[in-house]
């Protein structure tokens, strides 16, 4: 069952039992400027939260069960790497998945890349998270 691990300031998570999982996730993404979907005990999610808290952002974190993870909207996959003859490409891990202002940022690597490129803080300011 979907659970939250972050305290929300001035907002509450509401759940309509008749709302589909996909609709619920889309609604949560639209209602929270910074939201992370994760499995429980995900170390990458912990690192993402620490990075964001360090710069002054307190994201909403939602823990999903395995069957709920399939409902996450994901960005299009990156172009395939050059073929090296060492087998196929492994499937992408959809969690943790972070959304800023309704747009999927991706996982930890994408968040760190956004931060190192200097685009994270302006994006967080743009959505009112900073």
Average pLDDT over residues 9-17: 50
Count of C-beta atoms within a 10 Å radius of residue 78:
10
41-76 pLDDT per residue, tens:
788 899 999 999 999 999 999 988 877 877 777 665
Distance between CA atoms of residues 97 and 114, nearest Å: 14
Position 5 scores a pLDDT of 46
Q: Tell me the pairing of strands 34-38 and 60-63.
A: parallel
* Rg, the chain, Cα only: 15
- Which band of pLDDT confidence, cut at 50, 70 and 90, is reported for residue 33? very high
Q: For residue 105, count CB atoms less than 10 angstroms from its CB and return exposed for 0-12, middle for 13-18, buried for 19 or more.
A: buried
Residues in the chain: 130
Q: Give the lowest-confidence range in 17-21, 62-66, 98-102, 107-111.
A: 17-21
Enumerate domains of the chain plus CATH numbers: 21-73+93-127 (3.40.30.10)
Q: What is the pTM of this model?
A: 0.73
């Amino acid at each position: 069952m979907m659970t939250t691990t972050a305290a929300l300031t001035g907002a509450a998570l509401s759940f309509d039992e008749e709302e589909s999982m996909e609709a619920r996730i889309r609604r949560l993404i639209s209602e929270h400027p910074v939201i992370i979907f994760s499995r429980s005990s995900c170390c990458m999610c912990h690192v993402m939260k620490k990075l964001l808290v360090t710069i002054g952002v307190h994201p909403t974190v939602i823990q999903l069960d395995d069957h709920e993870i399939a409902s996450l909207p994901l960005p299009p996959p990156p172009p395939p790497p050059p073929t090296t003859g060492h087998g196929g490409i492994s499937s992408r891990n959809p969690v943790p998945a972070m959304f800023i202002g309704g747009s999927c940022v991706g996982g930890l690597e994408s968040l760190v890349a956004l931060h190192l490129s200097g685009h994270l803080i302006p994006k967080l300011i743009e959505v009112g998270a900073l």
